Every structure is written in structure tokens, then in C-alpha cells.
Amino acid sequence: MELGTFERQLRLMVLLTQNREYDLDELCVRLDMSRRTVYRYLELFRDIGFEVVKQGQIYRLDKSSPFFREITQLVHFTEDEALTLRHVLDSLSDTSVQARRLRQKLERIYDFGILNRIDSDENQAENLQMLYEAIKQHRQVVLEQYSSASSNRTDDRLVEPYLFLNNNNEVRCYEVRSGKNKTFKVARIGHVRLLDLLWDHEEHHTRLFTDLFHFSGEQLYPVRLRLGRLAYNLMKEEYPASERYLKPDADSDHWILEIRVCNYRGIGRFVLGLFEDIEVLESDDFRLYLQEKIQVLTKKFD
């Protein structure tokens, strides 16, 4: 086997075992590989004994695979041990390069956003721990006495939890009874009962995206804008993460913003507020959205 091929396979393996989520397109971009190559490597991983898990559009290697158990049994930390080690590292000076590197390595493996909350409200901490275990082990749970504001009722929900949201204050689940993906607030759960049943509807788990403007949804819509200097500066100031989506236009006084959003409301507010300094290049659906908003505003202030 060529060293280059082996190196690419190892890089893919690292991405699939980090505490992050990558869909197929993101893997292709990060590794500079074609879809066909990634599929071939995933099949190879399966053939040699790895458990390749596909959750919605997300791929990962299950750390319970026999291979990982063998090579990590001497260096693996329990969640309690990892949390203790993280607290020790946090007490060290931020100028310690070694401490920063160790923290980064731990964060790739353990979800400290969840583990850090184990010392909070006792019942909520227990519910978080049960949900955390259910997601790791792909098991169904019952959200007992869930208080729903939308339906104005309290009842039990049989669900398959698969994704934490909003700083772990919410959990995305597939609800078996309704056959729909729903977001549940952790604080409204009476108790989480972990079942011995494994996920049975994984193919229906839908990834939830959060765009630059903090709107969430199951779909992404492309938008392409040409920004003048004022709009460019304000975009970077209000949304620092936008820099990765910006590139200079041929005209040095303008920049192109190419991005995908979950909802037109966030980016629509930005465009309408700076309409004199922004040109909409794409898409027709976004133009139609803006036209409808302009008509509403015109009628409102006529």
C-alpha cells in the first residue's frame, strides 16, 4: 500500500473519531478526496472490523469497535476521570502550551459541555447523563412526564435521542409515536428512563443545522451577495465567523459572501438594513423573500 494512501486513510479515521460531526461533503473538502474514495475507505474500515455508523448525513467510527477497545484499554479515561483531569488542566496557567494541547486533545474525545453540568441540578444532571449514554449507545429512552408548552400537556414520550443543541439545554430526538424529529428542552423532562432497546429508526434521524445568523433548521438554502465596504465591515463585526465565507470581488472595493442559511430571516434583516450597499446575486427564492418583505413594509408605512 502506498504511504500516501495509508496517510489519507489515517486522516479520515482521525476525523471520524473526533468529538465533532462531519457529513460526506465536509469530509471530502477537508481531506481533498472524491465521494467515491471516501466511500471506498469507509467500506475498507467495515471489512477490517470497525463499526462505521451513519447518523442522518453524519458518519463516524464507533469507539466501541474491537480495534479501539484493544488499543485504548491502557490509556482510556472514564468520564469522571476525564472531567477531573480537565479541572486540573484548567487550574494551570493559560501560558502553558502543554496544558492547552492536552485540553484540546480531551475536548476532541469527551463532550465537556455535558459532563461539566453533572454538578448542577441533581435531577437535570441525571437526565443529561442518561441522554448522553443513550446517544453514545444508540438506545431508546422514555422522557417521563415531559411538559410541553405547545400541546399544553404532560406525558411520556418514547424517543431516540441523537443530538444535543443550544449548549446542551435541548436534545434532538426521533419521536416513535409521531414519526417525527423533535427538539425537547431538557429542563422540561421529569425523568429519563434508559431502555434496553436500540435505535430502530436511525434512517429517519435528520441533522439539524444552525446558520451564521443563529437560526436552526433541517435544510440549508444558498445565498450569494456582493457587499460594499460598509456592509463588509459590519458583517465581519457583527458575525466574526462570516470571514470564512467572504472573498474579494474582482473589484477591490467589493466582496462576495457565499453562504447557506437555515432561514432567510436573519440574513434578510441584514440585507434590508443595508440594501444600498448590497447586491443579491443568488438565489431567486431569496429575492422573492425580500420582495415580499418590502411589499409588507411599503403597505405598513404607506
Is 115 part of any domain? no
Among the candidates 206, 226, 255, a domain finishes at 206
The per-residue pLDDT for range 50-62, each reduced to its tens digit, is 888 887 778 888 7
The per-residue pLDDT for range 17-45, each reduced to its tens digit, is 765 677 888 888 888 888 888 888 888 88
Q: Angle 3-17/35-47 helices, nearest 10 degrees? A: 80
Amino acid identity of residue 219, one-letter, is Q
The per-residue pLDDT for range 138-158, each reduced to its tens digit, is 999 999 999 987 778 899 999
Spatial contact of 229 and 168, defined as CB atoms under 8 Å apart: no
What percent of the residues of the chain are helix, what percent strand, and what percent coil, each to the nearest 5? Answer: 50, 25, 25
The DSSP result for 19-63, as a single string, is SS-EEHHHHHHHHT--HHHHHHHHHHHHHTT--EEEETTEEEE-T
The per-residue pLDDT for range 237-275, each reduced to its tens digit, is 999 889 889 999 986 789 999 999 999 999 999 999 999
Among the candidates 179, 206, 233, a domain finishes at 206
Angle at 36 between CA 34 and CA 40, to 5 degrees: 120
Structural domain span for residue 25? 3-71
Spatial contact of 49 and 34, defined as CB atoms under 8 Å apart: no
Q: Is the pLDDT of residue 221 over 80?
A: yes
Q: Verify that 198 and 280 share a domain, yes or no.
A: no
pTM recorded for the entire structure: 0.47
Q: How many domains does one find in the chain?
A: 4
Q: Verify that 19 and 64 share a domain, yes or no.
A: yes
Band the pLDDT of 116: cuts 50, 70, 90.
low
Q: Verify that 189 and 229 share a domain, yes or no.
A: no
The per-residue pLDDT for range 199-216, each reduced to its tens digit, is 999 889 887 788 888 888
CATH of residue 53's domain is: 1.10.10.10
Distance separating alpha carbons of residues 67 and 296, to the nearest angstrom: 60
pLDDT of residue 1: 42
